[in-house]
Amino acid sequence: MSKICQITGKHPLFGNNRSHAMNATKRRFLPNLHYHRFWIESKKRFITLRVSAKGMRIIDKKGIDLFLNKINSGINYGKK
């Protein structure tokens, strides 16, 4: 399973760790992903999504129904 938020499209970024002597070692910056169940009032059932903390805040603000059509049609909300 890839580490991508199903709402925002956030994915791992790459960068460097820097030691005290400024030596660089490669690392990944991972998004804050969680599996979360959302209640769909129109369908009277739960749906489980893998979303970032930012994605949960967006769903709380705009509602899950806005994203259901985009998720079902394969459109990722955060992609440009």
**Burial (CB count within 10 angstroms: exposed 0-12, middle 13-18, buried 19+), residue 55:** buried
Backbone angles phi, psi at 27, to 5 degrees: -155, 165
- For 13-72, which CATH class? mainly beta
Can you say whether residue 64 is alpha, beta or left, with left for phi > 0 and alpha for psi between -120 and 50 degrees? alpha
pLDDT number for residue 71? 73
pLDDT-derived band at 72, boundaries 50, 70, 90: confident
Q: Domain-by-domain residue ranges, the chain?
A: 13-72
pLDDT tens, 4-50?
Answer: 999 999 999 999 999 999 999 999 999 999 999 999 998 999 999 99
Helices (H) and strands (E) in the chain, counts: 2, 4
Distance CA 70, CA 79 (A): 12
